[in-house]
Chain A
Amino acid sequence: MSSLRITGGTIYDPANGIDGQVGDIWIVDGQVVETPVDPAASADRTIDATGLVVMPGGIDMHCHIAGPKVNTARKMIPDDKRNSDPVHRTRLTRSGTGGSVPSTFATGYLYAGLGYTTAFDAAVPPLGARHAHEELADTPIIDKGFYVLMGNNHYVMKQLANGEPGLLKAYIAWLLNSTKGYTAKLVNPGGVEIWKSGGGNARGIDDTVDHFEVTPRQIIQGVAGAVHELGLPHPVHIHCNNLGMPGNHATTMETMKSLEGHRGHLTHIQFHSYDGDPDDQSTFGSRVEELAEYVNTHDNLTVDVGQVMFANTTSMTGDGPLGYYLHQVTGRKWFSGDTEMESGCGIVPIVYKQKSLVHALQWAIGLEWYLLVDDPWRIAMSTDHPNGGSFQAYPEIISLLMDRERRLEVLAGAPPAVADRCLLKDLDREYTLGEIAIITRAAPARMLGLSHKGHLGPGADGDVTLYSPDDDIQRMFELPRYVFSRGELIVDDAQILQDTRGRTLHVAPEYDLEAVDDIQAWFEKTYSIQFRNYPVDDHYLENPLVVPTRSDSA
């Protein structure tokens, strides 16, 4: 039994109603416990947190950090790494490269260095699940998991077309068990299949996917319903059709409505909130107000932002046609990878510039989301790393949310038309530390259904980050004073002390075994590997932990 006491810190634990109260956190064997009644109780180790801000460890619920797509991007951009700070080997830690798509060891260290202790990769094709787990096993410190691509899956579409919700539900459960994933991810549902088979795309959720004769709406509704019935801790995670297109606010609104009250998480919603005419870039603008209003009044929905920041970065997505579009627009090198029966992929290096009207509007639109959604419990911080920017930009985003003046300064450096096409200049709201703790910790944990994370009450994982208060908010969040993972001190004054192994979180919903025959028959006809060689064994997972489904699907 090893015990740790973090004493005298100013605690922000919004899940437990603590908003800047001085107090102690006790951790025994990696878990937070009740503060002992006996005032003379002592711990094996005590950290004096007087004057320090104490928060649960950060949670990045949507990033791209492991798997075939991420690794392809790493390989593709040696130029990016020459201009980035390398990650030096130390006595105890491995070397790596940083930049837009850090190598795996570097990813773990960089997240930990920012006080993040959990991260979920947003999009893994099932055929590459084994690969994602291998990479996650080489990603130190953080707890991790991933979402499984299903929105262009042939079996899913066939069951929808044939009106077989039972088989659909069984397949989704079987697939999550086979891949050891966390939830169903939809990326441009139906649209990627249209691209694969003919180079087009879905333009609306009622477009038909030829050959399968289903619509994106059917895919969204079908999968959302199945996920709901399975009682998964995190709902269907949706990257809407028409990402990046002027005027796509309409598609986003239709998608939200199509859920008809089922829980759903709309991801990197900034990219889906645009006004304008797709054939006329100059009409680009913000429609965040009405979309945020809809989110405000429909509590079945949660979002993460996908903030754009002004820097060189890399777009990487399961949205194959989007990759082609970005290549055509930017002229830069382009990777596209179609995976049989399952998904697509597009990777294009990209740079967002403050002087670009469109980019600066995207930046502003992201901030509008944070400022217009009333309830911080329903919005999570993300950059859709690395699509909008690196996760290393989170401290900068925090400072923009907490400091209206800073936002206005940046706006002043953007083209004047930006201010006219969005509400940002008039949004006075400034986030409090407590609200930051919500959108970077407590809310993601709740959205993910992780009852042991995102808070510091008894039973929580001992993931704690301590910051030195600083008027320079960005600096404060860039350099945590201490970071603990399950009660182990990982970071002390910017030094990584240990290379620990995190846990892999996944779900294991039950399914009708009889359905497997049908799945197998289809698989054997269409895939290029053996059915038996598809599922991933536990031994690939580092410290696996099953997160239970909810038995009451309310």
Chain B
Amino acid sequence: MSTIESSTATQEPTPELRVVEDATCTFCGCVCDDMELTVEGNRITKAKNACVLGKAWFFNHHIEDRPEALIDGQPAGYEQAMDRAADILLSARFPLTYGLSDTTTEAQRVAVAITDWIGGIVDTTTSVCHGPSGIAFQGVGEVTCSLGEVKNRADYVIFWGGNPAESHPRHFTKYSLMPKGEFVPNGRKDRTAVLIDVRKTKSAKAADYFLQVKPRRDFELAWALRALANGLELDAATIEETTGISLETLEEVMEGMKRAKFGVILFGMGLTMTRGKHFNSEAVLALARDMNKHTRWNAKPMRGHGNVTGADNVVSWSTGYPFGVHLGGGFPRFNPGEFTASDVLARGEADAALIIASDPMSNFSQPARDHLEGIPSVVLDPKLSDTARTAAVAFTTSTYGINTGGTVYRMDDVPIPLRPAFESPYKSDLEILRGIESRIRQRQLAGDVAGQSTGGTT
């Protein structure tokens, strides 16, 4: 307790201390919205209920002292940068809008609008995450459920090609293994858990069965299980040789699957990123579907980082297609491999890029990165990422969920609002994209842009 005598003229005012309840963490697809953030001035000092990833997310997004924007590496103001961004995008013949991972649906909608007006391609981080699962879904459909259904009903849970202990740390406790549910009153004791992966990761400890599949043989394993689900006979030697797992083990797992009341397969990048890709996802989706002959089964892609699920939804409702959408001909066309960002960059086709809340320079293939470095890009990111460093125009933005509000979609498509913790002097993605959009529209409607209303190149 300070007294008048002990206070000095140079004493700093104590930063304002607030608690933000029911805040939403967006680091992984769990989108936990039960965060209790202690905010001191413009720092989050406690994040109750956050896992290690969430804590890192909340504790490391400070207000950095950086310019509003960089144009060709030089500090610039927002207005000037938005002008230049509009220039780049309007003069491109084959612009690519990519990313939309760490941002709100409100901003994603404007990004799609910009791409529509300029006749570009819009692709999201879906294409390098569960895009293959999206492709598989277009082939066979999907039998799925919300995470609360997993919590309340699931008594048999299979994790395939993922390591939730490290990628979605609260998944086990919040949704899939531990919680007591309406029809699963004893929580973990009422559940059987199976982990299928090429490595025996930390997640294996949580499972009752660990099936170590041979690398690049998930497809064959899924089809073996499909065969068992459909009552076909299999050759034990072939199965073990091909998949690395004994037929006896598979038959035991299948018996358990058939006896379950409500099963769910939660699958990850171990399926989508390896040999087979969408064929792997398709096999798992079909397996869950086939199991409905016996009892209730579901499959859920374990969607990842940020608001990739939101991006999927926004692009789908705006254009009809989920990702890899070409708008250059004046209407949406869809073709993975032709219009997806990895390909359009690796083949050297895009001549400009608008990259929002994502860092392809860090994680794309080498040929894609090589090309992206050489074309003018407009980048929005709170941090000075590799992608922002190579940008022609790089905007410093505020961080969604920490500084700005909006909406994000959880991995099971449940939309959840953000409750920001402290303000930022930087503009949000939404504000910047709106600024770019209005400049583009102003120029298009004034008629000073060639070939604008029916799109650029075909």
Q: How far is the CA of A89 from the CA of B289 in the complex (A)?
A: 38
Known: A196-B153, A196-B296, A529-B33. A89 touches B330 (CB 8 A): yes
B389 to chain A, nearest CB (A): 33
Interface centre among B144, B151, B410, B414, by most chain A C-beta atoms within 10 angstroms, is B414
Q: List the 4 shortest-distance A-B pairs measured between CB atoms, nearest first.
A: A340-B148, A97-B320, A86-B331, A528-B148
Flag A512-554 by CB within 8 Å of B: 1 or 0 each: 0000000000000011111011000100100000000000000
Q: Which of A28-36, A181-189, A247-255, A328-336 contacts B (4 or more CB under 8 A)?
A: A328-336
Q: How far is the CA of A77 from the CA of B334 in the complex (A)?
A: 11
Residue of B nearest to A530 (CB): B22
Please tell me if the beta carbons of A338 and B332 are within 8 angstroms of each other in the complex.
no
Q: How far is the CA of A228 from the CA of B24 in the complex (A)?
A: 38
Which residues does chain A contribute within 8 Å of B292, judged by CB atoms?
199, 324, 336
Which residues does chain B contribute within 8 Å of A76, judged by CB atoms?
137-138, 141
Please tell me if the beta carbons of B151 and A131 are within 8 angstroms of each other in the complex.
no
Please tell me if the beta carbons of A532 and B21 are within 8 angstroms of each other in the complex.
yes
Q: How far is the CA of A249 from the CA of B296 in the complex (A)?
A: 29
Quick check: is B34 within 8 A (CB to CB) of the other chain? yes
Give the dominant DSSP class at B's interface: mixed
Quick check: is B248 within 8 A (CB to CB) of the other chain? no
Quick check: is B143 within 8 A (CB to CB) of the other chain? yes
Please tell me if the beta carbons of B183 and A103 are within 8 angstroms of each other in the complex.
no
Chain B interface extent, by class: 35 or more
Residue of B nearest to A333 (CB): B141
A30 to chain B, nearest CB (A): 24
* The residue from B151, B261, B295, B416 contacting A340, defined by CB atoms under 8 A apart: B151
Residue of B nearest to A107 (CB): B317
Q: How far is the CA of A89 from the CA of B332 in the complex (A)?
A: 9
Quick check: is A127 within 8 A (CB to CB) of the other chain? yes
| Interchain residue pairs with CB less than 8 A apart (9) | A75-B321, A76-B141, A134-B317, A198-B295, A336-B141, A337-B146, A529-B148, A530-B34, A533-B22
Q: How far is the CA of A127 from the CA of B105 in the complex (A)?
A: 17
Quick check: is A52 within 8 A (CB to CB) of the other chain? no
Residue of A nearest to B319 (CB): A103
Known: A104-B318, A134-B105, A526-B182. A199 touches B313 (CB 8 A): no
Please tell me if the beta carbons of B317 and A526 are within 8 angstroms of each other in the complex.
no
Interchain pairs with CB closer than 8 A, number: 196
B115 to chain A, nearest CB (A): 10
Chain B, 156-189, CB within 8 A of any chain A CB: 174-175, 181-183
Residue of B nearest to A85 (CB): B331
B180 to chain A, nearest CB (A): 9
Quick check: is A88 within 8 A (CB to CB) of the other chain? yes
Chain A, 285-331, CB within 8 A of any chain B CB: 324, 327
* The residue from B34, B152, B320, B414 contacting A96, defined by CB atoms under 8 A apart: B320
Which residues does chain A contribute within 8 Å of B445, judged by CB atoms?
91
Q: How far is the CA of A348 from the CA of B320 in the complex (A)?
A: 17
Q: How far is the CA of A77 from the CA of B417 in the complex (A)?
A: 29
Please tell me if the beta carbons of B298 and A338 are within 8 angstroms of each other in the complex.
yes
A506 to chain B, nearest CB (A): 17
Flag A157-196 by CB within 8 Å of B: 1 or 0 each: 0000000000000000000000000000000000000011
Q: How far is the CA of A526 from the CA of B183 in the complex (A)?
A: 10
Chain B, 125-148, CB within 8 A of any chain A CB: 134, 137-148
Known: A96-B332, A528-B147. A138 touches B318 (CB 8 A): yes
Chain B, 16-58, CB within 8 A of any chain A CB: 21-22, 24, 33-34
Which residues does chain B contribute within 8 Å of A134, judged by CB atoms?
105, 109, 314, 317, 407, 415
Quick check: is A421 within 8 A (CB to CB) of the other chain? no
Q: How far is the CA of A341 from the CA of B414 in the complex (A)?
A: 13
Please tell me if the beta carbons of A197 and B21 are within 8 angstroms of each other in the complex.
no
Q: How far is the CA of A361 from the CA of B393 in the complex (A)?
A: 62
Residues of B near any A CB (own CB < 8 A): 21-22, 24, 33-34, 105, 109, 113, 116-117, 119, 134, 137-149, 151-153, 174-175, 181-183, 261-262, 289, 292, 295-296, 298, 312-314, 316-322, 327, 330-332, 334, 407, 409-410, 413-417, 444-445, 453-455
Which residues does chain B contribute within 8 Å of A130, judged by CB atoms?
407, 415-417
B428 to chain A, nearest CB (A): 15
Please tell me if the beta carbons of A75 and B33 are within 8 angstroms of each other in the complex.
no
* The residue from A91, A97, A199, A347 contacting B319, defined by CB atoms under 8 A apart: A97
Q: How far is the CA of A75 from the CA of B336 in the complex (A)?
A: 13
Please tell me if the beta carbons of A131 and B141 are within 8 angstroms of each other in the complex.
no
Residue of A nearest to B334 (CB): A78
Please tell me if the beta carbons of A103 and B22 are within 8 angstroms of each other in the complex.
no
Quick check: is A135 within 8 A (CB to CB) of the other chain? yes
Please tell me if the beta carbons of A333 and B139 are within 8 angstroms of each other in the complex.
yes
Which residues does chain B contribute within 8 Å of A528, judged by CB atoms?
146-148, 151, 174-175, 414
A153 to chain B, nearest CB (A): 13
Chain A interface extent, by class: 35 or more
Please tell me if the beta carbons of B319 and A131 are within 8 angstroms of each other in the complex.
no
Q: How far is the CA of A87 from the CA of B320 in the complex (A)?
A: 11
Which residues does chain B contribute within 8 Å of A74, judged by CB atoms?
316-317, 320-321
Which residues does chain A contribute within 8 Å of B116, judged by CB atoms?
89, 94-95
Please tell me if the beta carbons of A75 and B318 are within 8 angstroms of each other in the complex.
no
Flag A233-248 by CB within 8 Å of B: 1 or 0 each: 0000000000000000
Q: How far is the CA of A86 from the CA of B138 in the complex (A)?
A: 19
Please tell me if the beta carbons of A198 and B33 are within 8 angstroms of each other in the complex.
no
With A197-B262, A199-B295, A340-B145 already in contact, 17 other A-B pairs whose C-beta atoms are closer than 8 Å: A71-B313, A71-B317, A75-B322, A78-B138, A78-B334, A88-B331, A89-B119, A94-B116, A128-B414, A196-B262, A198-B261, A335-B142, A338-B146, A341-B152, A526-B181, A529-B33, A529-B410
Please tell me if the beta carbons of A95 and B330 are within 8 angstroms of each other in the complex.
yes
* The residue from B109, B147, B454 contacting A88, defined by CB atoms under 8 A apart: B454
* The residue from A95, A327, A341 contacting B327, defined by CB atoms under 8 A apart: A95
Which residues does chain A contribute within 8 Å of B410, judged by CB atoms?
529
Please tell me if the beta carbons of A103 and B151 are within 8 angstroms of each other in the complex.
no
Please tell me if the beta carbons of B417 and A533 are within 8 angstroms of each other in the complex.
yes
Q: How far is the CA of A528 from the CA of B416 in the complex (A)?
A: 11
Quick check: is A105 within 8 A (CB to CB) of the other chain? yes
B158 to chain A, nearest CB (A): 17
A212 to chain B, nearest CB (A): 10
Please tell me if the beta carbons of A95 and B331 are within 8 angstroms of each other in the complex.
yes
Residue of A nearest to B21 (CB): A532
Q: How far is the CA of A74 from the CA of B416 in the complex (A)?
A: 22
Q: How far is the CA of A472 from the CA of B33 in the complex (A)?
A: 57
Please tell me if the beta carbons of B148 and A335 are within 8 angstroms of each other in the complex.
no
* The residue from A128, A154, A537 contacting B413, defined by CB atoms under 8 A apart: A128
* The residue from A72, A97, A327, A337 contacting B331, defined by CB atoms under 8 A apart: A97
Q: How far is the CA of A72 from the CA of B145 in the complex (A)?
A: 13
Which residues does chain B contribute within 8 Å of A135, judged by CB atoms?
317
Chain A, 99-149, CB within 8 A of any chain B CB: 99, 101-106, 127-128, 130-131, 134-135, 138
Flag A331-371 by CB within 8 Å of B: 1 or 0 each: 00111111111000001100000000000000000000000
Which residues does chain B contribute within 8 Å of A334, judged by CB atoms?
140-141, 143, 289
